Structure 1
Amino acid sequence: MPTLLYNALIRANHIAGLTHKSLLLFTQMLSNQVPPNSYTFPPILKSAATYPPHLGTALHSQVLKRGVLSDPFIQTTLVVTYSRNNRVDHAWKVFVEIPFFCVVACNAMLNAFCTNGDIEGALSLFERMPNRDVVSWTTIVNGFALNGSYEAAIRLFGMMMAHKDVVDCLVKPNEATFVSVLSSCANLDSRAALDCGKQVHGYIVMNEVNLGIFVGTSLINLYGKMGCLNYAVNVFDRMVSREVCTWNAMISSLASNGKEKESLDMFEKMKVEGLQPNSITLVAVLTACAHGNFVREGLELFRSMSRDFKVVPIMQHYGCVIDLLGRAGHLQEAADIIRNMPFQPDASVLGAFLGACRIHGAIELGEEIGRKMLKLQTEHCGQYVLLSSMNAEKERWDRAANLRKDITEAGIQKIPAYSMVHLT
């Protein structure tokens, strides 16, 4: 079988997602002494990115052995492969050996820095790039967003909108750019962030940009988090195509803005549309049930998750159902669920339960469950403090003091509280 045919089969299997078959074909190719060439390695390296790092290194050795390392496509693919294996140092070594400052290779290295949390390295490279296209700008904006620097991401987007490239044309954002900046806006609780999101929405409308699934979903998420429910509904209604993520955003927006019944109705409409709810959908619906005091509906949904939707409950679902029962005062039932959880409850579950015990005055039950769980998870300082406060409120000073003593003996450091004033 000639090299050309092997290359075609390797590429076809890679495109089909059959990475294991691609790699098997490559080993078969070597064993049959068919020489790989520069067209063999890009799909093979991409396939290797999902496997342990040593495979990428071994393929790198093959690239050197076959004398094709100077190929720009192979060099760029090596940067991507090492990046996906969290080997940024290796990616950088390959990158600096690329003779031409190609924008594609720069974008690959930029993405390597961003996805591995090296924002300083990404910004340094970005500032030194002689040419930047929409991919460059989107990568750096998304990189800051991924690493929690939302305000910086928004500022960079503003710079992008004013930037002109070498042919004196403005760089136009694409769908990925819009999603990144809208997500950054949604993660900032400020009027300025909302105004920025509205400006982005206005740009989309004025330039007749197609309101695709991801952009539309990002807008719904932004408006829902900012309390602009009418805007969220308007975007949802205008979308021609909707996926599960879109319905999730709308259900969550309704639930978080006091429209719990409408949220449950939206869930029913989603099922009528033939879409399969996923784990995120069920968190949103259980949250709506908790906030709206729909105890029966919430419990039925929780108990039928695995059967009806093939979704195994995770910590978030347990947190929601404990919150649901706690708000309604069904504390014994909540305690039974905690006792029978298939894994140890985290701070959110314990916090919801102890908070409910405090509100409803069930100190003994709270202390019984709380102490039992905290012995296994001593790092939950906040829950110890909550238990101590519950006893202090009932003037059970000895028990409150004992809990504080437990914190000290366990070597737990209480995180100091602070106040913050936001000036606008």
Structure 2
Amino acid sequence: MTQIHSLVITNGYLNFHKPNDNKWMPTLLYNAIIRAYHVHNHKKVLDIFTQMLSNQISPNTHTFPPLLKSSHASVVTPIHGQALKRGILSDPFVLTTLLVVYARNSRLFCAQKVFEEVPHFCIVASNAMINAFSMNGNMEGALKLFRRMCYRDVVSWTTMVNGFVVNGEFYAAIRFFGMMMTHNDVVNCLVKLNEATYVSVLSSCANLEGKAALDFGRQVHGYIVVKGVDLGVFVGTSLINLYGKMGCLNYAVNVFRVMVVREVCTWNAMISSLASNGREKEALDLFEKMKKLQGLKPNSITFVAVLTACSRGGFIREGLKLFGSMSSEFQVVPIMEHYGCVVDLLGRAGHIQEAADIIRNMPFQPDESVLGAFLGACRIHGAIELGEEIGKKMLKLQTQQCGQYLLLSSMNAEKERWDHAADLRKEIVESGIHKVPAFSMVHLT
């Protein structure tokens, strides 16, 4: 692409100064280059636009959408000014893109101002504004706009459901989906549910606990079967994830078997489901099958799943070998979750010193999950001294999570090391860490 750009420049195609030149030609060429850089090297897009202006070439409605999508937050407002100056903001596509970019940069007020400039009702702009509210945690604003819309499409409904999911309001997402299913838009087939709708509601079910969430997820699955909806990659993966989390492994396996197309995310969900339901050896066997398939490359999430299987199944040698092969064989750089799995793997098996060595040699500071896994192993195997050494790292992190500190204090108390336990609790108080009170919750349906 860079070579083509150079060829266009050296042949003078970007500099039109002759009176008889077609005025639209240089704009067309610049727009094509801006779109190409937007796809392949978005950091260069602003430079091309600056060159366009310096050559006195007028941008049009096709110039601004890829330019805005590629731009850093700091230059969105100046580009907005350029569009306003040239009278291009009357174009709904430019307005919608500007709205989306402001929302993506957490500038909800600016997004609302742009939305108010849309001259007539536009369902695309309205859906984008609902998503803007959702992305910025304002589900009340999203719901008000949704209710004001004179008509809605499947994107409108799905954006609302997904908005509740993104903001952790899973029960609200399920209730809204239920309302959607009984609404005239769906009943009269004015709106046809798509894959994204099913994925959003199944994700809500998977993030909840209890029979009610499972029952609702099974109803959604039944609806998919009755309506003859193709079991695509994302819907199938969402069902596997739901059934795996709910402990219904046979259902997860059945969905996996009937899927015609399986992507990496599908295999990850199935491996994780097996690992979390006591079928660790099968999870590792499935990983071996995945490696042999053409076009599928294990990613970071895959290794979290297989390392979890090794940890829970006690496969120390296999787990360490997999961890060692991540970078060399699969070009996957280990992150915090992977180190946490290895520490848990070694800790469960009583290899406390090896786990401590992993923590000491990590390329970044361990977080609470890694330290918590190590302290749990220290308590089980009575490694108090190592636990204290690593526990001091937590105080340096100044984390406000009290659980690990109290665990370390309890370990000392169990060994009747009262002075150590008292000193640690004193350090906890001086660090400003407070114990979170326990509570009970009853959900009435």
**Structure-2-length-normalised TM-score:** 0.90
SS in 1 for 2:321: helix
**Structure-1-length-normalised TM-score:** 0.94
Q: Is contact 1:91-1:112 (8 Å) kept?
A: yes
Mapped partners of 1:121, 1:7: distance in 2: 39
SS in 2 for 1:200: helix
- Shift in Å, 1:44: 2.4
Q: Is contact 1:224-1:256 (8 Å) kept?
A: yes
- Shift in Å, 1:14: 5.8
Mapped partners of 1:359, 1:205: distance in 2: 47
- Counterpart of 1:286 (choices 307, 329, 333) is 307
Letter in 1 for 2:236: G
**More divergent stretch after superposition (378-387 vs 8-17):** 8-17
Mapped partners of 1:188, 1:83: distance in 2: 28
- Shift in Å, 1:47: 2.9
Matched with 1:154 is 174
Unaligned runs of 5+ in 1: none
Matched with 1:44 is 67
**Is 1:349 matched up with 2:383?**
no
Matched with 2:56 is 33
Mapped partners of 1:320, 1:300: distance in 2: 13
- Counterpart of 1:358 (choices 372, 379, 389) is 379
- Residue 372 and residue 35 in structure 1: after superposition, are their counterparts in 2 closer, same or farther (change >3 A)? closer
Summarize the alignment of residues 367-378 of structure 1 with structure 2, pairs less than 5 Å apart: 367-377=388-398
Summarize the alignment of residues 65-144 of structure 1 with structure 2, pairs less than 5 Å apart: 65-144=85-164
Give a deviation string over 1:188-242, Cα, whole Å, max 9, x none. Answer: 0121111111111111111111111111111110010011111111111111111
**More divergent stretch after superposition (286-295 vs 113-122):** 113-122
Matched with 2:437 is 416
Matched with 1:207 is 227
Q: Is contact 2:38-2:70 (8 Å) kept?
A: no
Mapped partners of 1:155, 1:167: distance in 2: 17
Q: What number of residue pairs does the alignment pair up?
A: 421
Q: Is contact 1:374-1:380 (8 Å) kept?
A: no
Q: Is contact 2:35-2:66 (8 Å) kept?
A: no
- Counterpart of 1:328 (choices 330, 349, 371) is 349
Summarize the alignment of residues 198-347 of structure 1 with structure 2, pairs less than 5 Å apart: 198-274=218-294, 275-347=296-368
- Counterpart of 1:387 (choices 401, 405, 408) is 408
Mapped partners of 1:119, 1:217: distance in 2: 27
Q: Is contact 1:251-1:264 (8 Å) kept?
A: yes
Mapped partners of 2:228, 2:188: distance in 1: 23
SS in 2 for 1:82: helix
- Residue 412 and residue 240 in structure 1: after superposition, are their counterparts in 2 closer, same or farther (change >3 A)? same
Q: Is contact 1:38-1:74 (8 Å) kept?
A: yes
- Shift in Å, 1:377: 3.6
Q: Is contact 1:154-1:185 (8 Å) kept?
A: yes
Give a deviation string over 1:301-331, Cα, whole Å, max 9, x none. Answer: 1122111111121111111111111111111
Mapped partners of 2:43, 2:396: distance in 1: 45
Mapped partners of 1:369, 1:392: distance in 2: 17
Identity of paired residues, percent?
A: 72
- Shift in Å, 1:391: 1.2
**More divergent stretch after superposition (281-290 vs 84-93):** 84-93
Give a deviation string over 1:379-404, Cα, whole Å, max 9, x none. Answer: 34222111111111122222211211
Mapped partners of 1:265, 1:154: distance in 2: 35
Q: CA RMSD, aligned part only?
A: 2.0
Give a deviation string over 1:247-287, Cα, whole Å, max 9, x none. Answer: 10000000000000000000000001132111110010010
